[in-house]
């Protein structure tokens, strides 16, 4: 929990992790500026924040519009008297074999997930530099370490975000009170999977053991008082990073085989761009409805065990 109320901006606040984080900050008494494309969904989340004890201002914003993001930063600074933490949480995706997905869909994923985050950072860093302090939280996901076949543009955007953060930390190394923090959750139970573009021919779902978005939100809230460069959320994260480091391309090949098999067995589904170009009609929800709490706890325990056993084996192999 934060020690003092914070002034927080959240982009991508209309559902999922962004909405959960808004509510979590509100419970600490934070002042919030909430941004996303869907004003009605933002109003719904703002009401949750006010009920939780915080203050929330809604500013509809499309992060792919650089001028809109600049206006968001200016309004947030003027409204709250400054910005303590900016959570760059916008994320969209499209699933399907790379050559079968329209290039316009791939481009939009990059525009939102990578260029949009660059817009966020470019707008708020001058405020941080003027204040002499501030925390920029970059929502990346474990996809920043593990390439995701059938989601090539998504993988490119997440790998790009990791490089963006590392470069910014280098530029800001002489400003010890300005922090660039990355968050890498594994699969999270949000509406995002339903909102994603889908060119697989089959209905999309998530694996067992998905995280409660509120677990990720707690990790983001902690960064307000205890910033750190990298925060992984979810038991399998360590194993994923180790497997990618020691066996490059193997994990991607396995995932490709899984996706190919899954798409052929899944219930048929029509091709869709999802929320790439327009907000979804069912926005404003934190949970995706995929999570089984009991199953999730078991998966977490299993994940920790696998990470320890396989990670140790890989290290031993490396040293032999």
Q: What digits encode the pLDDT tens for the residues 42-97?
A: 999 999 999 999 999 999 999 999 999 999 999 999 999 999 999 999 999 999 99
Residue 275 belongs to domain spanning: 7-319
Whichever domain contains 37, its CATH number is: 3.40.50.720
Read off the tokens for 245.
Answer: 């480091």
Tell whether 221 is covered by a domain: yes
Task: State the pLDDT at residue 307.
Answer: 41
Could you give the CA distance from residue 38 to residue 35 in angstroms, rounded to a whole number? 9
Catalytic-labelled residue, pool 154, 184, 199, 262: 154
Q: Nearest CA to 196 among 108, 276, 267, 79? A: 276
What does pTM read for this prediction?
0.89
DSSP strand pairing (7-11 vs 31-35): parallel
Tell whether 2 is covered by a domain: no
Tell whether 69 is covered by a domain: yes
Q: What is the per-residue burial (b if ≥16 Cβ within 10 Å, else e) of 245-266?
A: eeeeeebbeebeeebeebbeee
Q: Nearest CA to 123 among 26, 35, 217? A: 35
Active-site residue, 145 included: no
3-state secondary structure at position 148: coil
Could you give the CA distance from residue 221 to residue 10 in angstroms, rounded to a whole number? 12
Arithmetic mean of pLDDT over the chain: 88
Could you give the CA distance from residue 17 to residue 304 in angstroms, rounded to a whole number? 23
Q: What digits encode the pLDDT tens for the residues 268-301?
A: 889 999 999 999 988 999 999 988 755 544 444 4
Tell whether 14 is covered by a domain: yes
Could you give the CA distance from residue 299 to residue 62 in angstroms, rounded to a whole number? 36
* Alpha-carbon 96 to chain mean position: 20
pLDDT at 315 over 70: no
DSSP string, 56-67: EEE----TT-HH
Asked if 136 and 147 touch (Cβ cutoff 8 Å), the reply is no
Could you give the CA distance from residue 65 to residue 282 in angstroms, rounded to a whole number? 23
Tell whether 106 is covered by a domain: yes
Instruction: Considering only CA atoms, give the Rg of the chain.
Output: 19
Could you give the CA distance from residue 199 to residue 150 in angstroms, rounded to a whole number? 9
Q: Nearest CA to 20 among 297, 290, 212, 229? A: 212
Tell me how many domains the chain contains. Answer: 1
Task: State the pLDDT at residue 270.
Answer: 92
Q: What digits encode the pLDDT tens for the residues 243-255?
A: 667 766 777 787 7
Q: For Cα atoms 165, 212, 106, give the angle at the middle one, nearest 5 degrees.
A: 50
Binned at pLDDT 50, 70 and 90, residue 197 comes out as: very high
Could you give the CA distance from residue 203 to residue 196 in angstroms, rounded to a whole number? 11
Q: What is the mean pLDDT of residues 20-45?
A: 98
Tell whether 1 is covered by a domain: no
């Amino acid at each position: 929990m934060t020690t003092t109320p914070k002034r927080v901006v959240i982009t991508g606040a209309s559902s999922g992790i962004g909405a959960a984080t808004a509510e979590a900050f509100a419970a600490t008494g934070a002042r919030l500026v909430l941004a996303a494309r869907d004003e009605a969904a933002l109003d719904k989340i703002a009401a949750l924040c006010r009920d939780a004890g915080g203050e929330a201002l809604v500013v509809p914003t499309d992060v792919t519009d650089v001028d809109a993001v600049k206006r968001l930063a200016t309004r947030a600074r003027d409204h709250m008297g400054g910005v303590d933490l900016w959570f760059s949480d916008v994320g969209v995706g499209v699933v399907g074999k790379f050559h079968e997905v329209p290039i316009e869909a791939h481009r939009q994923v990059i525009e939102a997930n990578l260029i949009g985050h660059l817009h966020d950072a470019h707008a708020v860093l001058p405020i941080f530099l003027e204040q002499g302090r501030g925390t920029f939280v970059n929502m990346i996901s474990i996809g920043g370490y593990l390439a995701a076949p059938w989601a090539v543009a998504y993988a490119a955007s997440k790998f790009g975000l990791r490089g963006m953060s590392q470069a910014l930390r280098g530029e800001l190394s002489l400003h010890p009170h300005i922090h660039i923090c990355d968050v890498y959750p594994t699969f999270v139970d949000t509406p995002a999977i339903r909102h994603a573009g889908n060119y697989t021919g089959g209905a999309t779902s998530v694996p067992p053991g998905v995280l409660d978005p509120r677990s990720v939100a707690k990790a983001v809230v902690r960064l307000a008082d205890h910033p750190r460069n990298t925060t992984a959320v979810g038991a399998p994260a360590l194993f994923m990073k180790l497997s990618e480091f020691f066996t490059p391309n193997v994990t991607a090949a396995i995932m490709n085989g899984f996706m190919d098999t899954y798409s052929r067995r899944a219930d048929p589904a029509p091709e869709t761009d999802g929320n790439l170009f327009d907000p979804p009609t069912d926005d404003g929800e934190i949970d995706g409805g995929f999570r089984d709490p009991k199953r999730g706890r078991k998966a977490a325990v299993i994940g920790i065990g696998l990470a320890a056993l396989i990670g140790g084996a890989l290290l031993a192999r490396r040293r032999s």
